Structures are given as structure tokens and as C-alpha cells.
Structure 1
Amino acid sequence: MEHLCIHPEIRQAMSDGSPVVLLETAVTTRGLPREGWSWQGRDVITDLEPDWNLQGPVNLELARSMSRCVRREGAIPATVAIMDGRWRIGLEPDELEQLAQDETAGKASITSIAAALHSGSSAGTTVSGALIAAGLMKRVTGRAPSVLATGGIGGVHFDWSRQPDVSADLKVMASTPVVVVSAGVKSIVDVVATREWLETLGIPVMGLGTTAFPCFIAGVDERAPGVLKVDSESEAADIARLHWETVDPSGGLLLGVPLPECSVLEASIVQEANDRAESSANEAGVDGPDRTPHLLSHMAEETDGRSLIANIQLLLANAKVASRLARSLPPQPS
């Protein structure tokens, strides 16, 4: 396939049935700052990840840390991106650095990937983009990863009745047999509406150690319909297998991992920061794929980096959980 490059390590892992974790890269190109750490909480970051270089770009350091985390847990990271008009599944360290430093690299989802391939451009993949890569891998290698790690999935944005902004992540999750491990949905979207959409689309939602729906950096949201509590990654793997074998062989699942209580931002702080971020985006006329990066950046400034620290904490935690899940849920054969 002309526009597809699968790293030899990933091909070998597919052949061997070794555990592989898909990693999206929109968080690298559009979700995190491209400069070194300039907020409070430097000690929190280095406690989390001793190898973190505080002078290095936050987006690159996070991408490196997630890959290290996956390997420490006994799985292989399959970082997915579009680079120079080609699908790249599995990146060398210098390629990851190139992607993180490319200020022209946007983010690509199901609606924009073909255009990026055609134009020869580079982009980080959203959850929907990384899930599409799983389908490509199955076509080429006969197997596909069963697990993807991300921070928070996209969802239904606030004020959806006026402007129906719904992430393509949800549609692609519903039609791809992969368990997405996340801290629920990003705090910039309507949690209750998104949870209802997941139900409508037939996407089973599990919560690791919780019956409440995880809500990104704000902990859990008791207003949203509850989720199925699982006590371990192996239990989640058993449910996923049964879902694919007896219910929907082509549908995805969501495993929500709540942020530890000590790291959660107060709901009122998140809501106030989000309201100001929404107002800023509306005043600036920021819509479409640029809206989420604008909102996340504004929230980091509003919270003096606290939202950014929480974001990094949950990304690393999700990478660990996804790796453990992948060990119980190896790549699926055709």
C-alpha cells in the first residue's frame, strides 16, 4: 500500500501476537505546548516521570514518556501519525521529534486524512485517525491491535443544540473493534450528552474501579448515566472478548480510568475556566479542528498549568492501564 508505512517492530509484533498499544498523536501536534515547562508543579512532573526533560518541549516529552511507559509495562507502542503524506505506524525517536517540532502539523481525523495524504503534509492523528490505522493494519498484516490509549476522547460540545459539534471519534469507535482507554471525555465537552451518544451508538462503557463516568481532569461526573464497573484490566479484557465474540465483532468499547482524587481539579474551577475558554473561542471565531487546541491552551493558562499537569498525569496513567489490558488482549487475527 503506497501511503502506508508500518514499522518493522510493529509488523513483527503483529506476527508474533505480542501486546501492542496504539497511541494517537493529535495531543502531540495540537494538544500540548511546544515549549519547555514554565508553570508551577515542576516537581510533580519529575516525580511522575524522572526522565522528563523540563527544558524540552512539553509535547515531545509527553510523547516520549508515554512510549517509555508502554514498554515498561511489557507492551509495544504503535504511535500513529501522518508524515509527509504517508501513514506512519510506529515512529523512530527522531521521527517523533520531527513531528513534535513541526509547527505546520495539524491534526487529522477520518474526514481529513485523505486530504493530508494527497497534499503530502504531516498531522497528528485523533482517536478516530488512530482507530482507522488499526483497520489498515488488519488488512495488511492480518492482525490489528486491540487497545488504544489516549487522554480523553472527543465528544459532544457544549451548546450542541445551537451548533451540533460532535466528534468523529464516537462514530469510528462504534465501528472499530478496539478498546479505547481514556479518562472519559475531555472536560471541554458536554459529559452527559456524550455519555448518551455512546449509549445510542452501542459502545459499551466500562469504568476501572468506578461506576461513575470519568470526566477527564475533573474526576467523575455523577450526573451522567453510570458505567459498568470492572475491577481489573483482565476483567475488562474478558468483557471485550465476549462483546466481539457474541454481540458485535466490529464494535469498539471504552474503558474509563478516573484521575486519582489527589490530582483532580475542583469541578467549579474547571467549569469557570471552561466557560472563559468557550467565550474566548467564540469571540475569536475559532471553530472546527482548531477549537479543541484553543480551549485546552486557554484552560492551561486559566489554571496556571494545573489542568496541564492533570492532563499529563492521566495520559501516563492511561498508557499503563492500556498496556496491561493489551497483555490480556493481544492483537486480533482476521
Structure 2
Amino acid sequence: MDHLIIHPEVREAITSGRPVVLLETAVTTSGLPRTPWRWPDLERVKTGHEPWQPEQPVNLELARAMSRTIRDHGAVPATCAISRGQWHVGLDPDHLEALALDTQAEKASVTSAARAIRTGVHAGTTVSSTLAAGNLVRRVLGQGPLTMATGGIGGVHYGWSNLPDISADLRVMARSPIAVVSAGVKSIVDVPATREWLETLGIPILGMGTHELPCFIAGLERHAADIHAVEDEREAAETARVHWSTVDNHGGILLTVPLDEHTSLPRDLVEEATRAAEEAATDAGIAGPERTPFLLSHMAESTNGRSLVANILLLINNAKVAARMACCLQESSS
């Protein structure tokens, strides 16, 4: 298919029945600093057998750590991006580094991916466009990745009754037979409203050991109960298989993984930082695709890096869970 490059390792893994995990790169191009680490608590960041390199840009080091984590747990990482007029599913180390260090790299959702491909820019993929890339792979190879790891999905932004700012992540998840592993929804969105949208779109929400919806770096949403608790990745995989075989073979699954209480931030701190970031974004007239990166950067500064530490830890943990779930899904299909 034109405009699609599947990395040889990813292609071989899919065609031979090995587990593959999709990774988005909007967090690399737009969500994390391109500067070395300059906050406290670096010793809390565990990245497997290779230590975090503090002199490296945060966004690049995190991307490397997620790929290592997926490999350490038995799966193949399929990092997605748009580059020089092509979808890329799977990146060489040099390509990943070039993307991470490119200050002109954009963020492409499913609504802007075609323009990014046509104009030949470098762009990180959001949840929605990463899922779209996974769907393209399925069309080409007849099978594709069954899991994806991200930090938190987009959702319904505050003030939606006046300005219905709703992430494309939700609708694309509803039409992609891929399990998205995340720490719930980003802290900057309206969690109850997002929960209702997921319900409306028919996207099952699973909670790793919880009936309550995780809220990214802020822990659990005590008022958003009634999600389906699963004990481990195997039970999540079995539930996904049943959903795809008997209910909806075209729709997605959301597996949410809560942060532990030692990693998550107090809810009042997150809410205060979010309000301040929202006000700053509104005052600066920042909207659309640029709003989320601005909010996350503002929150990192106002929390002295605590939100960034939590963000990195949950991303690495979600990569681990996605790899384990991918292995379980592959076992059940063989």
C-alpha cells in the first residue's frame, strides 16, 4: 500500500504470530521536554536493566525506555510516526532519535494525518492516528497489532457545553479492534463526561484490579465507578477475545491501569495545576492540537516536575502491561 512502511522486524513479528505493541509518538514530539532531566526524583524512574541517561533529552530517553520495556516482556515495539510522506510502523533507533530531536516535528491526529503525509513533514502520532496506522497494517497483512500503550487517552475537555472539544481518540477507538492500555484519561479532561462518551461509543472499559476509572497522574476517580475489573493481563486478554469474537470484531477495548498511591499526585494538587494551566492556555489563546502539550508543560513547571515523574512512570508501566497482554492474546490465538 502506498504511504505505509512497516519495519521489517514488525512485519516479521506479525506474520509469524509474535506479539506486537503499538506505540504513539505524540508524547515524544509534543508531550515531553526535549531537554535533559532537571527536576528531583530521577532515582524513582526505573527503566529495566539499562539506567535512565540523565544527560539525554527526556522525550528521547522515555521513548527508548518504553521500547526496552516491551522487549523485556516478550513483545516487539511498533513505534509509529509520519515522516517524509509515509506512515511508519516501527522505527530504527536513528529514526526515533531524529524524530525526538526535531524541533519542527508536529503532532498528527487522525484528522491531520493526511495533510502531514501530503506535505512530507515529520509528525508524532496521537492515539487516534496510531490506531489508524494499526488498522492500515491489518488491511495490508490481514492481521495486525492487538495492543497499544499510551499514557492517557484524550477525552472531553472542560467547558464542552460551550465549546465541544472532544478528542478524536474516542471515536477511532470505537472502530479499531485494538486494546489500548493507558492510565485512564488525561488529568486535563472532564473525566465523568469522557466516561459517558466511552459508554455511548460502546467501548468496554477494563480496570486492572479496580472498578474505578484511573485518571492519569491523579490516581482513581472515586465517582466514576462501574468499570469492569480484571485481575491481570491474562483476564484482560480473555475478555478482549470474547468481545471481538462475540460482540464487536471492529471495536476497541480500553484497559486502564492505575498508578500506585506512592506515584500518583494528590487530586487537589492536580486539579489546582490543571485549573492554572487551563487559565493560562485560555489567556494565551491556545486551542486545538497545541492545547494539550501546553497544558502538560505548564503543569510540569507548576508541580516542580512531579507531574512529569508520574507521567514517565505510568508510561513505562503501561508499556509493560501492554506487552504482557499482547503475549496473552497471541497465546490464546495460537
TM-score, with normalisation over the residues of structure 2? 0.97
Give distance in 1, aligned partners of 2:331 and 2:15.
9
Partner of 1:166: 166
1:67 match: 67
1:157 aligns with 2:157: yes
Per-residue deviation, 1:204: 0.2
Displacement over 2 Å in runs of 4+:
45-51, 330-333
* 1:262 equivalent in alignment to 2:262: yes
Q: Secondary structure at the match of 2:269?
A: helix
Instruction: Give the SS at the match of 1:160.
Output: coil
Paired with 1:328 and 1:46, the residues of 2 have a C-alpha distance of 24
Cα offsets for 1:281-317 (capped at 9, x unmatched): 0000000000000000000000000000000000000
- Residue 91 of structure 1: how far off its partner (Å): 0.4
In 2 relative to 1, CA 48–279 (structure 1 residues): closer, same or farther, beyond 3 Å? farther
**Distance between the aligned counterparts of 2:8 and 2:46, measured in 1?**
32
Structure-to-structure mapping, 1:174-253, within 5 angstroms: 174-253=174-253
1:226 offset after TM fit, Å?
A: 2.2
Instruction: Quote how far apart the aligned CAs of 1:46 are.
Output: 5.4
Cα offset for 1:331?
A: 10
Cα distance, 1:142 vs. partner?
1.3
TM-score by length of 1: 0.97
> How many equivalent residue pairs?
333
Correspondence for 2:7: 7
SS of the residue 1:263 aligns to: coil
The answer for the alignment partner of 2:291 in structure 1 is 291
Identity of counterpart residues, as a percentage?
58
CA distance in 2, matches of 1:236, 1:165: 30
Offset, 1:49: 7.1
Evaluate the alpha carbon distance shift between residue 282 and residue 312 of structure 1 in structure 2; reply closer, same or farther with a 3 A threshold.
Answer: same
Unaligned runs of 5+ in 1: none
Q: 8 Å contact 1:20–1:330 — kept in the other structure?
A: no
Q: Is the 8 A contact 2:7 2:91 kept in 1?
A: yes
In the alignment, the residues of structure 2 paired with residue 300 and residue 99 of structure 1 have an alpha-carbon distance, to the nearest angstrom, of 22
Q: SS of the counterpart of 1:171?
A: helix
Aligned partner letter, 1:205: I
The answer to whether residue 18 in structure 2 is matched with residue 18 in structure 1 is: yes
What SS does the aligned partner of 1:97 have?
Answer: helix
The match for 2:118 is 118
Q: In structure 2, what is the Cα distance between the partners aligned to 1:59 and 1:208?
A: 27
Match of 1:87, SS? strand
| Rounded Cα–Cα distance in structure 1 between residues aligned with 2:205 and 2:58 | 30
Instruction: Determine the C-alpha separation between the residues in 2 that align with 1:200 and 1:158.
Output: 18
Deviates more, 1:38-47 or 1:185-194: 38-47
Alpha-carbon separation, structure 2, partners of 1:110 and 1:291: 17
Report if aligned partners of 1:173, 1:253 keep a CA contact under 8 Å in 2: yes
CA distance in 1, matches of 2:134, 2:327: 17
Deviation string 1:181-213 (CA, Å, 9 cap, x unpaired) is 000000000111101100010000000011110
Say whether the 8 Å CA contact 2:73–2:323 is kept in structure 1.
yes
Structure 1 partner of 2:133: 133
- Contact 1:46–1:52 (8 Å) recurs in 2: yes
Task: Give the aligned partner of residue 308 of structure 1.
Answer: 308
Contact 1:23 1:149 in 2 (8 A): yes
Q: Pairwise CA RMSD of aligned residues?
A: 1.4
Q: Match of 2:324, SS?
A: helix
Measured in 2, the distance between the counterparts of 1:42 and 1:69 equals 18
* 8 Å Cα contact 2:3-2:87 kept in structure 1: yes
Unpaired runs of 5+ residues, structure 2, are: none
Corresponding letter in the other structure for 1:317: N
Q: Which residue of 2 aligns with 1:276?
A: 276
- Separation of aligned partners in 2, 1:321 and 1:202: 23
Write out per-residue CA displacement over residues 96-134 of structure 1, whole angstroms, 9 at most, x where no aligned residue: 000001111111111100000100111000000110011
